[in-house]
Amino acid sequence: MSVSGDSVIINIEGLAYSIEEMMFHDSLVPPKSCIFKIPNILYRQNEKAFIPDAFSFGPLHHDGNPNLKAIEKIKLQYLQCLISRLHTLETSEKRVIDLVKSIEEVEKVARQYYAESIEYTPEEFVKILLIDGCFIIELFRKLAYDELREKEDPIFTMSYMLQFLYNDLILLENQVPWIVLECLFNMTKQQIHTESLLELAIQFFGTTFSATSPTKILPLKDIQHIGTSESILDIKFNDGVLKIPPLLIQETTEIAFRNLIAFEQCYTDCEAWLTSYAILIDNLINTTKDVDILCKSEIIHSWSNRKEAVQFFNKLYHNTYVKTFYYGRLCNNVNGYCNRRCPRWRAVLVRNYFNTPWAFLSTLAAIILLILSFSQTLYTMKKS
């Protein structure tokens, strides 16, 4: 751009070239994207729900927090354990070289799984993926097979470590692409251990939402994340009975919900299962009395503060959008049933006359007296 007198001359060709470069390099989101930065509109709901406490995985938080650096030694220790267990004639260095080559082959594809541009060089990126990926699959194996754990393993001897891992491994920004984990898993698997990577991962995350229900796989177009959720989603309504599977409340519950909901909001054409679930539960909970009902029915576990429970579900899905409500038909069936006369009368009777034991007894006594009075009147009429 140049200035001549009162007029401004713009380099049109240069500006057009600059815009074209931006269109084709900076602004496009890779089509394989499945690991996202949390949108600000969701991030500000609860910042702590999206930031790792102790373990960084992948590139997005690799240099973000100096406190996470202390854990890198444990990752290297796990890498050493994994390599030393491989029964080959090759040296340790050769085994590492083979692992590096395997990740180098998928490095470009792995970049496309991140919606954000990765600023690391190919060498730096491969190093991050290799160390973090090996740690994750070694963690899954050690949890499944006790004999693989060393006596002084800090992950299994320090109780808080596993809690940190459960928290940090479910964060949307804190992920390693599934293709990387599969590659490393296949290169390091042994015949004595037959479980697949997916089975080991499900075993690790199996109690995220429920302590008793089996894990249910949510089908995605491609396996890029562990697309799993508990059977808490299997809510059914039949003949006036609404069946809701129990929900386990623990420290990671809100974190898991918020990150999975964020994933549903960001991932292309993803059905909003967890967002729909949050909406449905919010519709059922308006007061602490509603929480009491769900707790007594053992639908919600381990929630001592009823007001906190109401606030939790009321705010869980704020600022989200659901294209198709997963429980739309179920809600229509429930509403249709409740609008029929008999259910409404029964609800009124329960609310007004059977809501406490004393109310029930007094109502029952009144009914008995009414029956006795009617019987006495009938008997007198017949006698006369």
Of 97-101, 186-190, 363-367, which range is least confident? Answer: 363-367
More confident residue, 18 or 352: 18
Asked if residue 43 belongs to a domain, the reply is: yes
38 is in which domain, residue-wise?
1-204
What is the rounded distance in angstroms from the CA atom of residue 163 to the CA atom of residue 156? 10
Same structural domain, 95 and 28: yes
Same structural domain, 315 and 356: no
* Residues 61/174, Cβ–Cβ less than 8 Å: yes
Q: 98: pLDDT confidence band, cut at 50, 70 and 90?
A: very high
Same structural domain, 304 and 351: no
Asked if residue 36 belongs to a domain, the reply is: yes
**pLDDT digits over 142-177, tens only?**
999 999 999 889 999 988 898 889 999 999 999 999
Same structural domain, 94 and 186: yes
Same structural domain, 79 and 199: yes
Asked if residue 357 belongs to a domain, the reply is: yes
pTM score, two decimals?
0.79
Same structural domain, 185 and 319: no
**pLDDT digits over 334-355, tens only?**
888 888 755 555 555 455 544 5
Closest CA to 233 of 331, 327, 328, 335: 327
**pLDDT digits over 261-288, tens only?**
999 999 988 889 999 999 999 988 888 8
Mean pLDDT of 19-36: 73
pLDDT given for residue 214 in this prediction: 47
Question: How is residue 48 written in tokens?
Answer: 């702590």
Q: How many CB atoms lie within 10 A of CB 221?
A: 11
Closest CA to 38 of 56, 61, 55, 22: 61
Longest distance between any two alpha carbons in the chain, whole Å: 123
Asked if residue 176 belongs to a domain, the reply is: yes
* Residues 320/42, Cβ–Cβ less than 8 Å: yes
pLDDT given for residue 360 in this prediction: 44
More confident residue, 6 or 163: 163
The mean pLDDT value of the chain amounts to: 82
Q: 183: pLDDT confidence band, cut at 50, 70 and 90?
A: very high
Same structural domain, 275 and 195: no
Same structural domain, 29 and 134: yes
Asked if residue 336 belongs to a domain, the reply is: no
Same structural domain, 283 and 150: no
- Split into its structural domains, the chain has a count of 3
Length of the chain in terms of residues written: 384
* Residues 290/284, Cβ–Cβ less than 8 Å: yes
More confident residue, 351 or 241: 241
Asked if residue 306 belongs to a domain, the reply is: yes
Same structural domain, 49 and 98: yes
Asked if residue 250 belongs to a domain, the reply is: yes
Asked if residue 209 belongs to a domain, the reply is: no
Same structural domain, 173 and 96: yes
Mean pLDDT of 104-119: 94
Same structural domain, 323 and 346: no
Q: 356: pLDDT confidence band, cut at 50, 70 and 90?
A: low
